[in-house]
Amino acid sequence: MRIALLGAAFSAGGAHPGCRHAPEVFREREYPRWHRRLLRQRQTLAVRWAGIVREETPHPLRLPNAADVFLRNNSRLMRHTRMLRRGGMLPVVIGGDHSCAIGTWTGIAAAQRKPLGLLWIDAHLDSHTPDTSASMRLHGMPLAVLLGEGEERLTRMSGHELPVLQPEYCAVIGVRSYEEEEPQRLARLGVRFYTREEITLRGLPAVIDEAWRKVSAAPGGFGVSLDLDVLDPMLAPGVSVPETGGLHPGQLARILCHQPLKHRLRGLEIVELNPRRDPQGQTLRLLPRLMTALLLRR
């Protein structure tokens, strides 16, 4: 598998400017070691850096005023992931605040003809629109945009009429903080989301099996959007919007490892790493482990 690492140095759509430093910090501190380890272990992953897409205005911005800035940033990211997919590469995007998901998945979906599945791993539902958001920050809205709801310049970024994602091939897992309009929207659209309570009730293996089956049934393959705030902030403090509780990194690695149809993977993004809240680097150091868990076929 030929993997192209792509930074999305975005913070304008998020809650904290620190997020935009994450791709560079990863590339300098973790990537060389990870790359050497893969070579030494003769792993079949061929990884290279494809560059860093930088936002044009590195200040927190809000909708509706900043729609054009968000559109330009995400359009550039979309062109990169689309080009990488068309070239037969597997894009792995290192964010950035979660608004980069709009560019990542619009580009990956545009490179193929069949519908794409997506597993959204997150403490939040990210399914607001400007009508329901209190903060008007775009990182609380990317899933709604990809499903075709919200700011129209973003939902139609690729020029296609249809939304980027079809609800029946999407699932959200790890959720533990949301406003009531978000589950209402997802329920109306028909997107399955698994809260912390459901995971506790049914057990993680049953839930993850169901979620993986759902997204990997998509005719065009599937992707994973991983917001690091799904993890317990005691163990992974380096995120912009920490929520108490959450998954243990080992649990998350097992989730990523146990997808049986990895040959149908079309992309991965890992977002919301905030190096300024991660002075000891423990959140940063999880990235190679999590990426290897999903990318390596056993």
Provide the annotated active-site residues: 98, 122, 124, 126, 139, 227, 229, 272
User: Smaller CB distance to Mn ion: residue 124 or 266?
Assistant: 124
Does residue 55 touch Mn ion according to CB under 5 A?
A: no
Nearer to Mn ion, 30 or 97 (CB): 97
* Contact residue for Mn ion among 30, 55, 122, 151 (CB under 5 A): 122
In angstroms, what is the minimal distance from the CB of 120 to Mn ion? 8
- Determine, following the binding rule CB under 5 A, whether residue 98 of this chain makes contact with Mn ion: yes
Binds Mn ion by CB under 5 A, chosen from 30, 55, 126, 182: 126
Least gap, CB of 154 to Mn ion (angstroms): 16
Q: Which is nearer to Mn ion, 130 or 209 (CB)?
A: 130
- CA dist., res. 132 & res. 135, Å (int): 9
> How many whole angstroms separate alpha carbon 245 and alpha carbon 294?
23
Angle between helices 249-257 and 286-295 (to 10 degrees): 20
The three-class DSSP label of residue 269 is strand
The amino acid at residue 173 is I
227 is a site residue for Mn ion (CB under 5 A) = yes
* DSSP states of 13-40: TSS-GGGGGHHHHHHHHTHHHHHHHHHH
In angstroms, give the least distance from the CB of 66 to Mn ion.
18
The Cα 232–Cα 68 span in angstroms is 35
CB of 163 to Mn ion, least distance (A): 18
128 binds Mn ion (CB under 5 A): no
User: In 3-state terms, what secondary structure has residue 115?
Assistant: coil
What span, in angstroms and rounded, lies between the C-alpha atoms of 172 and 126? 10
97 part of the interface to Mn ion, by CB under 5 A:
no
Residues that bind Mn ion (CB under 5 A): 98, 122, 126, 227
